[in-house]
Each structure stands twice: as structure tokens, then as C-alpha cells.
């Protein structure tokens, strides 16, 4: 613990009209009482604050002593002076909503993120140390909007061997999450015509496309994946071929050929969202669709499902003619994705720590999915679980003659269980199957069985 807090900056609205010490005390009380200085935060040393404000050190020391006596500050020998933990009189901070923290549901089965308690912190720290020890000074400057060359090289090798993609580093662009990838693509391809998107599909992704001013053509989904019917009205198609979201199907071989033939014959652009392609449990994952037509397919990947969404690291492998327009759109959006995390991820991939984490996660999620299917089959056999043995979620369909989504959501709320209904994933939910998308990767490890108990009680 540092003993000298001289380096801590502190802005105070100081009014000394009633005396310097009194004015300093008022300013400190206001800053602490409104929460502008957080409980537990250090305050500057008396010498540093006196020099900054032009006051005598004795005046600052007396003010600190008074606020310590009042309970605003606490002095810990060897650790300097800090704001007392119970000092803030202002409005409380909003509660956090992460699993296991105040304000979060007791049982969280929402889809969309991995088990965050398994983030490979030790491996990330080792890679970070290597990167900081060896990174050139230019790593801290504005860089290529396409991303760091180290990460593009590492991804080219990884995507080729793990996902069967044709990934030339010169055709890879690093983005700040798949949402940015899709939004920038929609802008770059705005003149290509309507966008065919899976139905049901991700509502947030539809909103991104609509915001760019593009119309959406629905592609019906069944247990063989998206149907190619409707492509004649579109110039762009967005697919999740390895593991359709949310239905969980894999795109059948004849449909893969139909989509790539459409792209070749018409000049249309296919966007492949390979959001969780590494996680196939019953067999080797299906290779990327992009590998069959790299000049017509944009391949999109992300660390959101393998490591965590907060990293905001994603990538596109683009046809050659789209690299420069997309890189320019990225430059205008945010210059480039932050460099140090890119270098750390490159090191994780090069040292195979990333592969080891993915393999361990694959086994963990397979066990979770197996337990979900077995539990529902034994305790609530009237519901159906759709989708292949893959990914981080399963689609659970309700029987047509039982309680609907609204009733199940009310029951879930009474048990503090977070679920995602299927209805928002349809462009028109009228007359559609009813169900829920269960994220079995979301609960922290020890809480998963209890979450399944709550789910069964709600569906019973």
C-alpha cells in the first residue's frame, strides 16, 4: 500500500470568505457528501493539498482532523487518509446487475454471455506482462484502423486451423465487438439492397441494420437452418450457419450450397456470424461457410462467447474489395480498437492458451447442456428442447395448450429467475411458437443446479 498520496488529484470548490479552514472543510464535506469522492477513496496528503490550494499545511491538517472526528475521513497508519466507507450522504449508486452481485437475479438463465467466473485471468495476466515488456512504443499511439498486425497474423492462423476459414491477415479488420462489425458493414453496403435475416433472429442485430436505413427480408428457419427462399429480394444476407440463433440448427449442406451459389451468381454479400462456432459438443464443429466462397462471404467472429463481452474484441475477414471501404468506415467510427488488448489476445493465441481455454469451456458447457436436457426431460417432459448439441444456449418450446410466455415470465419473476422469451425474436410474433431461450452458460458454476430447479418449478 503506498504511504504517500501526493499523486492523487482532487478538485474542490473552495470558498474562503468565512475563513480558509472553514472553507476547506465545507468543500470537502460537499465533495464527500454528494458522492463525488467515493467511499474508501484516498485523499491527497496534507502537503500535496496545501501546495495545490495555496494553503498552509497546518490549515489542511486541522481540516482533515475535524472531518475525521465527524466521520467523513479515516486515517490509517501507513496507508494515508481516505474517505470513510459510510461517509456519503448523497443518492446511493445504482446496484450492479452482474451475477452474484447486489441487484442481480438470484437465478440467471439469460443467453448471451459465457460463465464469466472462468475467465482465464492467470493466462491473460501472463500475456499482459509479456506484451508490456516487449511492446514497441508505437503500440501506445494511434494505429492502423484494421488493427494490430500481430493479432491479424495470429487470427489468420487460428481461424484457418480451427474454423476452416480462408483468413489472409491483409483481409482481417479488428472491431470493437460484433455489433460494431455489423453496423459498419450495413453502412458500407448501404447501396447493395435489402438485407435477408433469419426469422427468428437476433432483435438487436435487426435494429442495427434498420438504423442504417436498410430494409429486412425475413428468411424462415427450420431444423435445417435458414431457408434460401426470399434471397431474390435481397442483396445482402446475414446468417448464423454453424449454430442458428436462437433455434440452434446447423445450416444443411444443400442450403449452404444454395446461399453461396446465390452470392456468386448475383454478386450478393453473405455475412457469416460465427458467434459460438467453437462450441460443438457431439462432433467436430462444422467449418466456416466462408471457406467455401471467401470472395463473397464476410466472416465475423468475436471473443464475447469465448472470453467475455466486456473485452469488445471482434474481427471480420472480408472479401478483398471490401477491405479498404470497411477500414475507412472503422477509422471514421473510432480510429481503431484499443491496441493493448489486441496484443494480449494475439499472445494468448500464439501460446495456445486461447485454445486450452476454449477446450476447457467446451467440456464445461457440454456438461451443462446435458444436465439441462436431462433435467427437463425428467421433470417437465411436456416442453421440447430444440437445437444441436452446441453453443451456450438452448431453445425450449412451450406446448400450445399450456401457459404462455407472459404467464411463465410472471412465475419466473416470483422466483427471481431471469429468462428470455422467444417472442421478441420474431418480426411478427402472432401465431408463432412460444418458448424461451435458456442460457446455460450464464450462471456461475455452483449456482447452476439451483437455477435449473427454479426453471423446472416455473415450467411445471
**Residue 279, pLDDT above cutoff 80:** yes
> How many Cα neighbours within 13 Å face the side chain of 425?
24
Whole-number Å distance between alpha carbons of 400 and 385: 14
Task: Work out whether strand 216-222 and strand 195-199 pair parallel, antiparallel, or are unpaired.
Answer: parallel
**Residue 93, pLDDT above cutoff 60:** no
User: Which tens digits make up the pLDDT trace of 174-208?
Assistant: 999 999 999 999 999 999 989 999 999 999 999 99
Instruction: Check residue 35 and give its pLDDT.
Output: 83
**Residue 61, pLDDT above cutoff 60:** yes
Whole-number Å distance between alpha carbons of 112 and 124: 22
Whole-number Å distance between alpha carbons of 151 and 314: 11
**Residue 96, pLDDT above cutoff 70:** no
Q: Confidence band (pLDDT; 50, 70, 90) for 7?
A: low
**Residue 220, pLDDT above cutoff 50:** yes
Whole-number Å distance between alpha carbons of 301 and 285: 15
Cell output for 451: 437455477
Q: Confidence band (pLDDT; 50, 70, 90) for 95?
A: very low
> How buried is residue 417: exposed, middle or buried, by Cβ count under 10 Å (0-12/13-18/19+)?
buried
Instruction: Check residue 103 and give its pLDDT.
Output: 67
Taking a C-beta distance cutoff of 8 angstroms, is the pair 189, 215 a contact?
A: no
Cell numbers 412460444: residue: 434
> If you average pLDDT over residues 126-151, what whole number do you get?
95
**Residue 315, pLDDT above cutoff 60:** yes
Instruction: Check residue 2 and give its pLDDT.
Output: 40
> If you average pLDDT over residues 44-52, what whole number do you get?
88
**Residue 453, pLDDT above cutoff 50:** yes
Q: Confidence band (pLDDT; 50, 70, 90) for 416?
A: very high
The residues facing 199 across adjacent strands are 220
Taking a C-beta distance cutoff of 8 angstroms, is the pair 61, 46 a contact?
A: yes
For 155, the enclosing helix (H) or strand (E) is: helix 149-163
Whole-number Å distance between alpha carbons of 327 and 308: 25
Q: Confidence band (pLDDT; 50, 70, 90) for 92?
A: very low
**Residue 73, pLDDT above cutoff 50:** yes
Whole-number Å distance between alpha carbons of 440 and 448: 8
Whole-number Å distance between alpha carbons of 300 and 113: 17
Instruction: Check residue 102 and give its pLDDT.
Output: 56
Instruction: Check residue 105 and give its pLDDT.
Output: 85
Cis peptide bond prior to 257, omega within 30° of 0: no
Instruction: Check residue 445 and give its pLDDT.
Output: 79
Whole-number Å distance between alpha carbons of 204 and 249: 20
Interhelix angle 339-350/121-134, rounded to 10 degrees, is 110
Collect all residues with Cβ–Cβ distance below 8 Å to 12 and sequence separation of at least 6.
24, 27, 28, 31, 53
Rounded to the nearest 10°, the torsion over CA 289, 179, 132, 153 is 20
Q: Confidence band (pLDDT; 50, 70, 90) for 8?
A: low
Q: Confidence band (pLDDT; 50, 70, 90) for 149?
A: very high
> If you average pLDDT over residues 158-165, what whole number do you get?
96
Whole-number Å distance between alpha carbons of 10 and 21: 17
**Residue 218, pLDDT above cutoff 80:** yes
User: Which tens digits make up the pLDDT trace of 346-357?
Assistant: 999 999 999 999
User: Which tens digits make up the pLDDT trace of 369-413?
Assistant: 999 999 999 999 999 999 999 999 999 999 999 999 999 999 999
> If you average pLDDT over residues 274-285, what whole number do you get?
94
Cell numbers 474481427: residue: 315
- Output 446 or 133, whichever has higher pLDDT: 133
Question: Can you list the domains of the chain with their CATH numbers?
Answer: 1-93 (1.10.10.10), 107-118+357-459 (3.90.1150.10), 121-355 (3.40.640.10)
Taking a C-beta distance cutoff of 8 angstroms, is the pair 306, 158 a contact?
A: no
Range of weakest confidence among 121-130, 156-165, 422-431: 422-431
The dihedrals phi and psi of 395, each to the nearest 5 degrees, come to -95, 120
Among 248, 223, 178, which Cα is nearest to 425's? 248
Whole-number Å distance between alpha carbons of 460 and 451: 14
Longest dimension (CA), the chain: 84
Work out the mean pLDDT of the chain and round it to a whole number: 92
Q: What is the 3-state secondary structure (H, E, C) of 434-446?
A: CEEEEECCCCCHH
Cis peptide bond prior to 396, omega within 30° of 0: no
Amino acid at each position: 500500500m503506498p504511504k504517500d498520496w501526493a499523486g492523487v488529484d482532487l478538485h474542490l470548490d473552495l470558498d474562503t470568505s468565512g475563513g480558509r479552514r472553514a472553507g476547506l472543510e465545507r468543500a470537502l464535506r460537499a465533495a464527500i457528501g454528494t458522492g463525488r469522492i467515493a467511499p474508501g477513496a484516498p485523499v491527497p496528503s496534507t502537503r500535496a493539498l496545501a501546495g495545490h490550494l495555496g494553503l498552509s499545511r497546518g490549515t489542511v491538517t486541522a481540516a482533515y482532523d475535524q472531518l475525521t472526528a465527524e466521520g467523513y475521513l479515516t486515517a490509517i497508519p501507513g496507508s494515508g487518509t481516505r474517505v470513510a466507507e459510510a461517509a456519503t450522504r448523497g443518492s446511493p449508486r445504482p446496484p450492479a446487475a452482474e451475477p452474484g452481485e447486489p441487484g442481480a437475479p438470484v437465478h440467471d438463465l439469460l443467453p448471451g454471455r459465457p460463465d464469466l467466473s472462468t475467465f482465464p485471468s492467470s493466462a491473460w495476466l501472463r500475456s499482459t506482462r509479456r506484451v508490456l515488456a516487449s511492446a514497441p512504443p508505437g503500440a501506445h499511439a494511434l494505429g492502423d484502423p484494421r488493427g494490430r498486425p500481430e493479432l491479424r497474423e495470429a487470427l489468420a492462423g487460428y481461424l484457418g486451423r480451427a474454423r476452416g476459414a480462408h483468413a489472409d491477415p491483409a483481409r482481417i479488420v479488428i472491431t470493437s465487438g460484433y455489433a460494431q462489425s455489423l453496423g459498419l458493414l450495413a453502412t458500407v453496403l448501404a447501396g447493395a439492397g435489402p438485407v435477408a435475416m433469419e426469422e427468428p433472429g437476433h432483435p438487436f442485430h435487426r435494429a442495427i441494420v434498420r438504423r442504417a436505413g436498410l430494409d429486412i427480408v425475413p428468411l424462415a428457419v427450420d431444423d435445417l437452418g435458414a431457408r434460401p427462399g426470399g434471397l431474390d429480394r435481397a442483396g445482402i444476407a446475414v446468417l448464423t450457419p454453424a449454430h442458428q440463433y436462437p433455434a440452434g440448427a446447423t445450416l444443411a449442406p444443400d442450403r449452404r450450397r444454395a446461399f453461396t451459389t446465390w452470392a456468386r451468381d448475383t454478386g450478393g454479400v453473405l455475412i457469416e456470424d460465427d458467434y459460438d462456432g467453437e462450441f460443438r459438443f457431439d462432433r467436430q464443429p462444422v467449418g466456416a461457410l466462408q471457406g467455401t466462397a471467401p470472395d463473397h462471404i464476410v466472416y465475423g467472429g468475436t471473443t464475447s462467447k469465448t472470453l467475455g463481452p466486456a473485452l469488445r474484441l471482434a474481427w471480420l475477414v472480408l472479401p478483398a474489395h471490401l477491405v479498404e471501404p470497411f477500414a475507412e468506415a472503422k477509422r471514421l467510427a473510432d480510429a481503431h480498437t484499443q491496441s493493448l488488448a489486441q496484443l494480449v489476445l494475439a499472445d494468448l493465441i500464439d501460446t495456445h492458451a486461447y485454445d486450452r481455454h476454449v477446450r476447457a469451456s467446451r467440456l464445461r458447457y457440454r456438461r451443462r447442456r446435458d444436465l439441462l436436457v436431462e433435467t427437463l426431460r425428467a421433470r417437465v417432459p411436456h416442453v421440447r428442447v430444440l437445437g444441436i448439441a452446441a453453443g451456450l444456449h438452448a431453445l425450449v418450446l412451450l406446448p400450445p395448450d399450456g401457459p404462455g410466455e407472459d404467464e411463465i415470465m410472471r412465475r419466473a419473476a416470483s422466483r427471481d429467475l431471469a429468462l428470455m422469451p422467444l417472442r421478441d425474436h420474431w418480426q411478427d410474433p402472432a401465431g408463432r411458437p412460444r418458448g424461451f431461450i435458456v442460457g446455460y452458460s450464464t450462471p456461475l458454476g455452483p449456482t447452476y443446479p439451483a437455477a435449473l430447479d427454479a426453471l423446472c418449478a416455473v415450467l411445471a
